């Protein structure tokens, strides 16, 4: 039957917030190549997606109406790739998540894998890779009388490629790199992103095994091995503390409990998992692919804030069953970058059905996110979704057949299915199942805004309201208040009446309450969960480590934290007044000039000598400064060398950088862009660190000069898209990194990925 309608007056209407319409227009609305809209309204978008996903049915018209009904009013939210790409006829994948093939330990295989990654990201897929298969740095390379450069050197190549390839929708690809906790280069991997210019396109996670956790708890020795050879022996607890310290200080790497993932995998008889997609919610085998969608729990609560408030179980069951069928059809409707990915998807028919709006739904039924009661309610709702999803997939198997690799005895013996309800197990045993895995909780930052700013995924409400600049149709920008969905409903009903005590947000929530909620949801999610555990800056290192150990002890499949500090910056903070968040763009004023500054007769400056290894002649870099508003800032650059091979590009660089400097404003991005340049011929080691190109070395010189004159606070600080950046007014608390898309400050760490509250930019979604 179609999804039941409700006349509850508390329901928000379509696009009540300007930001929601803007996101639809920018990201999901189908347009001609010249920008002319084809989707006239959001209803046209829903109809387009419904028609495309129903096209594979025997009776497309019937299912098109059912699918439209599920999409209507943002009840079911397919992931952005489906909403933007389905029914457009464009050569893009509708799948969000890919893990690439196993990387061979030879040069030819490595660069074949690089090519596959480029093709996947070109179509808009985020990818994951396990770099544990590459021999460690210093290992013998037989036949060429050389030592191996190690997996991190190849990760640098991947990072440069990712910056070059623009994925569909003009968004750069995102990548996850994993490495086993017993790889000889694991210590270098743990500290790799402490260099602000390195591996910026990667999220990093350590694959933590059960034996390693036992060794940590028992304070035992731990061997680092490759190819049967022991390269080094360390204390497991020391290595664990090293992971924890890097995460405490730099927010990376994350931790993935890989043996638990494989033990619980429904397909553990047919595949071995060693990597995840960029946000970690989809552990996948080589060439594995998964598509995503979310049920909007906030839209299913009847009579919010009343004693009779409840989430309608009938509506939840019907919507879940419709969503499963719609996503299963998407497997057949999608294109794939590589034939191996298409074969994997067809053989296993993975889907990742999750939720969004959980925190809002809990607020609406009167529960405090993070409490034991909220965890119990979350577990109940997730259990109901899992039951409905699996039973719907059984019905599909009766109609269309089970997934090709289905083996009833082995499938039912997996750790996940052992916990499933007995009647579900009986149905699977009798009829098979259409989809090998069905549930996942993905990042939903952008689609949650599009749906009226419901709380994201299973995260708590981040901020009850904040200011955001919204692009209007005439090109102007207005400042709009963006209010959380549940808070908006409260205001509509109760006006200025203060919200009750159970209204909590991410800023005030104890870290172990986050873990409790993640563990409660994980019990009924057969893949994994993308979630960030926000930790206060003042949390002690020992208490911080307890968060990860609690995640392990409570059955989580991974753990990602974010602790704001002077190195990583801060997420958007909530003011002490009522439930309001501060504006996302306050602080030190940056002056942008319509005309370049005139050059004074005399300027102060400094000249630096740069000797690039293997180059006959040194490069001399002169940077002159100007004092503006009492602040010394760079004004011009001169780059000189006796090497005539350098002449043309040094002259061009001199003119371009000087032109930028003379325009005023925050010019620190020049440093970032130069430091990110990768030379395919290879970089060089200088003063104990790897520099990817001579241009990156010049960027480092300019950065050191900016630090010396007080324009930047320190290395890696103040760069536009560096997660460590922060430009602060005197006495102001860190407000978070600047967005690389719109430049506004206050990016939020949500579901493992920095997300901009101003324009919705995210590396991961």
What single string gives the DSSP state of each residue in 136-158? PTT-EETTTTEE---HHHHHHHH
Minimum mean pLDDT range among 18-27, 126-135, 182-191, 671-680: 671-680
Q: Is the pLDDT of residue 516 over 70?
A: yes
Residue 414 burial (10 A CB sphere; 0-12, 13-18, 19+): buried
Say which DSSP state 24 is in.
I
Residue 740 contacts residue 242 (beta carbons within 8 Å): no
Q: What tens digit of pLDDT does each residue of 262-296 get?
A: 999 999 999 999 999 999 999 999 999 999 999 99
At residue 566, the pLDDT reads 56
Q: Which tokens in the block code for residue 174? A: 């995102």
| Domain final residue, candidates 692, 708, 724 | 708
Give percent of the chain with pLDDT exceeding 70: 83
Mean pLDDT estimate for the chain: 85
At residue 362, the pLDDT reads 98
pLDDT mean over 157-182: 75
| Cα dihedral 736, 740, 744, 750 in deg (nearest 10) | -50
Please tell me the total count of domains within the chain: 2
| Separation in Å, CA 426 to CA 49, 409, 432, 497 | 34, 11, 10, 51
For residue 191, being part of any structural domain is answered with yes
Integer distance in angstroms from the first to the last C-alpha of the chain? Answer: 32
- Close Cβ partners of 71 (under 8 Å, ≥ 6 residues apart): 46, 49, 50, 78
| Domain final residue, candidates 209, 229, 264 | 264
Query: Annotated catalytic, 640?
Result: no
- In this structure, what are the phi and psi dihedrals at residue 609, rounded to the nearest 5 degrees? -100, 130
Rounded Cα gap, residues 77 and 534, in angstroms: 25
Rounded Cα gap, residues 692 and 244, in angstroms: 28
Rounded Cα gap, residues 165 and 172, in angstroms: 7
Rounded Cα gap, residues 509 and 513, in angstroms: 7
- The distance from CA 537 to its chain's CA centroid, rounded to whole angstroms, is 22
The model's confidence at residue 600, banded by pLDDT at 50, 70 and 90, is confident
Minimum mean pLDDT range among 113-127, 279-293, 417-431, 458-472: 458-472
pTM: 0.77
Query: Annotated catalytic, 277?
Result: yes
Degrees, nearest 5: CA angle 137-140-142: 140
pLDDT mean over 10-19: 64
Q: Is the pLDDT of residue 382 over 60?
A: yes
Q: Is the pLDDT of residue 678 over 50?
A: yes
Q: What tens digit of pLDDT does each residue of 209-267 get?
A: 999 999 999 999 999 999 999 999 999 999 999 999 999 998 899 999 999 999 999 99
Higher pLDDT among residues 237 and 464, named by residue: 237
Q: Which of 97, 162, 279, 739 is catalytic?
A: 279
Residue 764 contacts residue 609 (beta carbons within 8 Å): no
At residue 93, the pLDDT reads 87
Q: Is the pLDDT of residue 208 over 70?
A: yes
Residue 263 contacts residue 168 (beta carbons within 8 Å): no
| Cis omega (within 30 of 0) for bond into 526 | no
Residue 581 contacts residue 570 (beta carbons within 8 Å): no
pLDDT mean over 373-379: 98
At residue 99, the pLDDT reads 95
At residue 722, the pLDDT reads 39
Q: Is the pLDDT of residue 579 over 50?
A: no
Of the candidates 342, 286, 345, the one whose C-alpha atom is nearest the C-alpha of residue 100 is 286
pLDDT mean over 339-349: 96
Q: Is the pLDDT of residue 311 over 70?
A: yes
Q: Is the pLDDT of residue 5 over 60?
A: no
Minimum mean pLDDT range among 79-88, 581-590, 668-677: 581-590
Rounded Cα gap, residues 592 and 221, in angstroms: 57
Rounded Cα gap, residues 11 and 14, in angstroms: 10
Residue 355 contacts residue 294 (beta carbons within 8 Å): yes
- 171-172 and 166-167 beta bridge pairing: antiparallel
Of the candidates 403, 265, 429, the one whose C-alpha atom is nearest the C-alpha of residue 345 is 403
| Cα dihedral 508, 513, 519, 520 in deg (nearest 10) | -90
Rounded Cα gap, residues 398 and 222, in angstroms: 49
Range of the domain at 180: 99-264
pLDDT mean over 486-501: 92
At residue 680, the pLDDT reads 64
Q: Is the pLDDT of residue 702 over 70?
A: yes
For residue 648, being part of any structural domain is answered with yes
Higher pLDDT among residues 166 and 9, named by residue: 166
Of the candidates 452, 526, 515, 70, the one whose C-alpha atom is nearest the C-alpha of residue 298 is 452
Q: Bridge-partner residues for 293, per DSSP?
A: 78, 353
Q: How many CA atoms lie within 13 A of 94 on its CB side?
A: 27
For residue 104, being part of any structural domain is answered with yes
| Domain final residue, candidates 226, 248, 264 | 264
At residue 54, the pLDDT reads 97
- In this structure, what are the phi and psi dihedrals at residue 584, rounded to the nearest 5 degrees? -80, -5
Higher pLDDT among residues 54 and 463, named by residue: 54
Q: What tens digit of pLDDT does each residue of 704-760 get?
A: 898 888 888 777 655 544 333 333 322 233 345 555 555 455 666 666 667 776 666
Q: Which of 277, 296, 329, 505 is catalytic?
A: 277
pLDDT mean over 693-711: 88
For residue 541, being part of any structural domain is answered with no
Q: What tens digit of pLDDT does each residue of 88-103 get?
A: 998 788 998 899 999 9
At residue 720, the pLDDT reads 45
Residue 267 contacts residue 273 (beta carbons within 8 Å): no
Higher pLDDT among residues 216 and 34, named by residue: 216
At residue 629, the pLDDT reads 61
For residue 306, being part of any structural domain is answered with no
The model's confidence at residue 648, banded by pLDDT at 50, 70 and 90, is confident
Q: What tens digit of pLDDT does each residue of 538-552 get?
A: 899 999 999 999 999
Q: Is the pLDDT of residue 567 over 60?
A: no
For residue 643, being part of any structural domain is answered with yes
For residue 229, being part of any structural domain is answered with yes
For residue 292, being part of any structural domain is answered with no
- Close Cβ partners of 703 (under 8 Å, ≥ 6 residues apart): 671, 675, 712, 715
Minimum mean pLDDT range among 64-68, 208-212, 297-301, 572-576: 572-576
Q: Which of 116, 271, 281, 344 is catalytic?
A: 281
């Amino acid at each position: 039957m179609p999804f039941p309608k409700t006349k509850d007056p508390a329901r928000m209407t379509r696009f009540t917030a300007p930001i929601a319409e803007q996101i639809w227009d920018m990201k999901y609305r189908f347009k001609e190549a010249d920008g002319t809209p084809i989707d006239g309204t959001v209803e046209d978008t829903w109809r387009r997606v419904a028609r495309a996903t129903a096209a594979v049915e025997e009776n497309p018209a019937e299912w098109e109406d059912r699918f439209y009904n599920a999409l209507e009013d943002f009840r079911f939210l397919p992931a952005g790739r489906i909403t933007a790409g389905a029914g457009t006829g464009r050569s893009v994948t509708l799948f969000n998540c890919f893990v690439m093939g196993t990387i061979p330990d030879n040069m030819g295989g490595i660069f074949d894998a690089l090519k596959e990654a480029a093709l996947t990201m070109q179509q808009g897929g985020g990818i994951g890779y396990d770099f544990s298969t590459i021999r460690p740095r210093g290992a013998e390379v037989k036949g060429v009388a050389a030592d191996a450069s190690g997996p991190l050197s190849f990760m640098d190549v991947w990072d440069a490629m990712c910056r070059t390839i623009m994925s569909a929708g003009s968004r750069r690809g995102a990548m996850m790199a994993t490495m086993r906790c017993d790889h000889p280069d694991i210590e270098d991997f743990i500290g790799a992103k402490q260099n602000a210019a390195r591996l910026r396109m990667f999220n990093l996670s350590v694959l933590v095994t059960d034996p390693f956790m036992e060794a940590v708890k028992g304070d035992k020795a731990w061997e680092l091995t490759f190819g049967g050879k022991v390269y080094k022996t360390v204390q497991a607890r020391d290595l664990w503390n090293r992971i924890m310290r890097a995460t405490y200080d730099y927010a990376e790497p994350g931790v993935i409990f890989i043996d638990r993932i494989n033990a619980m995998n429904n397909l553990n008889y047919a595949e071995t998992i060693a990597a995840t997609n960029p946000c970690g919610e989809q552990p996948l085998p080589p060439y594995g692919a998964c598509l995503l969608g979310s049920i909007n729990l906030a839209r299913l609560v009847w009579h919010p804030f009343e004693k009779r408030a409840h989430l309608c179980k009938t509506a939840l069951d019907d919507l879940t069953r419709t969503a499963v069928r719609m996503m299963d059809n998407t497997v057949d409707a999608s294109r794939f970058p590589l034939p191996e990915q298409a074969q994997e998807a067809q053989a296993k028919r993975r889907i990742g059905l999750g939720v969004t709006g959980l925190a809002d739904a809990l607020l609406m039924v009167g529960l405090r996110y993070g409490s034991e009661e909220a965890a119990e309610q979350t577990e109940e709702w997730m259990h109901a979704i899992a039951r409905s999803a699996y039973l719907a997939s059984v019905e599909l198997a009766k109609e269309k057949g089970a997934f090709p690799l289905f083996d009833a005895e082995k499938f039912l013996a997996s750790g996940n299915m052992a916990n499933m309800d007995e009647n579900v197990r009986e149905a699977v045993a009798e009829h098979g199942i259409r989809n090998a895995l069905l549930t996942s909780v993905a990042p939903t930052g952008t689609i949650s805004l599009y749906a009226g700013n419901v709380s994201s995924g299973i995260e708590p409400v981040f901020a009850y309201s904040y200011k955001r600049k919204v692009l209007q149709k005439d090109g102007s920008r207005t400042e709009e208040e963006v209010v959380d969905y549940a808070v908006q409903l409260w205001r509509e009903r109760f006006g200025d009446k203060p919200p009750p005590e159970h209204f909590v947000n991410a800023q005030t929530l104890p870290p172990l309450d986050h873990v409790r909620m993640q563990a409660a949801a994980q019990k009924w999610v057969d893949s994994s969960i993308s979630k960030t555990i926000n930790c206060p800056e003042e949390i002690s290192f020992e208490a911080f480590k307890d968060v990860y150990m609690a995640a392990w002890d409570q059955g989580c499949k991974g753990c990602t934290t974010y602790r704001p500090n002077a190195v990583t910056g801060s997420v958007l903070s909530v003011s002490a007044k009522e439930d309001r968040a501060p504006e996302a763009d306050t602080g030190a004023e940056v002056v942008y000039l319509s005309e370049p500054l005139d050059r004074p007769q005399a300027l102060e400056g400094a000249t630096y000598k740069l000797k690039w290894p293997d180059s006959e002649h040194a490069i001399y870099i002169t940077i002159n400064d100007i004092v503006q508003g009492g602040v010394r800032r760079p004004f011009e650059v001169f780059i000189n060398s006796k090497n005539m091979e350098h002449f043309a590009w040094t002259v061009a660089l001199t003119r371009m950088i000087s032109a930028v400097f003379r325009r005023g404003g925050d010019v620190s991005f020049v440093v970032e862009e130069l430091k990110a340049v990768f030379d395919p011929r290879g970089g060089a080691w200088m003063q104990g660190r790897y520099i990817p190109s001579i241009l990156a070395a010049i960027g480092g010189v300019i950065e050191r000069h900016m630090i010396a004159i007080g324009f930047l606070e320190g290395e890696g600080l103040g760069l536009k898209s560096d997660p460590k950046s922060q430009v602060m007014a005197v006495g102001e608390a860190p407000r978070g990194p600047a967005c690389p898309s719109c430049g506004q400050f206050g990016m939020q760490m949500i579901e493992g990925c920095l997300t901009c509250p101003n324009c919705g930019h995210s590396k991961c979604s």
